[in-house]
Amino acid sequence: MAAPDLVTGEDFGRLFDTFERTAFRLETLAAYDVEEEREEMARFFAGEDMGPEWHDNPWVRSMTDKGKQVSRVHVLTSPLSDYLRYELAAYPGNIRAGETIGIIDRAEQTVEGLPDHDFWLFDDRHVYRMHYTEEGAFVGGELLATDRLAEYHAYRDRALSAAVPFATYWERHH
């Protein structure tokens, strides 16, 4: 089987400039290896001030200020990995910037029929299956065929209906 064609780097980044209405992400990994986050993570675990961008995410705001909707559901299992403690601590700044975030904690609930991989769904028309290394480094997004859209719409709908709003989850666990 041939390796999929993957959208990477600036080409993948442009998807967030060009979608028109909605972007939904399903997240499934316990850790992501993002080089751009390493310094920030070190500050977070050292208990340092995270700065104003932590409290109002400019990347999210760059989309929501244009009237676009950004949402995600993170499927995880508590207790949280160090990476997830860092990532979830940043979510209030994403929410303040306009993102809607839900959590499915597999230690608390069983949700059948969700994929074991991340994806982005843009404008209900384009779905990108995310590919990562075993360490969680982003390899690229694979644009799936349009005949898979109904399947991914169902994943999104199932995840959104099962997810606990982030604020509710965080209040119980933080």
With cut-offs at 50, 70 and 90, classify the pLDDT of residue 3: low
Q: What is the pLDDT of residues 50-107, one digit of tens each?
A: 888 899 999 999 999 999 999 999 999 999 999 999 999 999 999 999 999 999 999 9
Domain architecture of the chain: domains with CATH: 9-173 (3.30.870.10)
Chain centroid to CA 96: 16
Q: Which residues of 5-40 are buried (b: 16+ CB within 10 A; e: fewer)?
A: ebbeeeebeebbeebeeebbbbbbbeebeeeeeeeb
d(CA 83, CA 17): 27
Strands 100-105, 69-76: pairing kind: parallel
- In this predicted structure, the answer to whether residue 2 has a pLDDT above a threshold of 60 is no
pLDDT for the residue 4: 77
- In this predicted structure, the answer to whether residue 165 has a pLDDT above a threshold of 70 is yes
Q: What is the pLDDT of residues 113-157, one digit of tens each?
A: 999 999 999 999 999 999 999 999 999 999 999 999 999 999 999
- End-to-end CA distance of the chain, in Å? 44
Q: Give me the phi and psi of 173, to 5 degrees please.
A: -115, -10
Residues 120/141, Cβ–Cβ less than 8 Å: yes
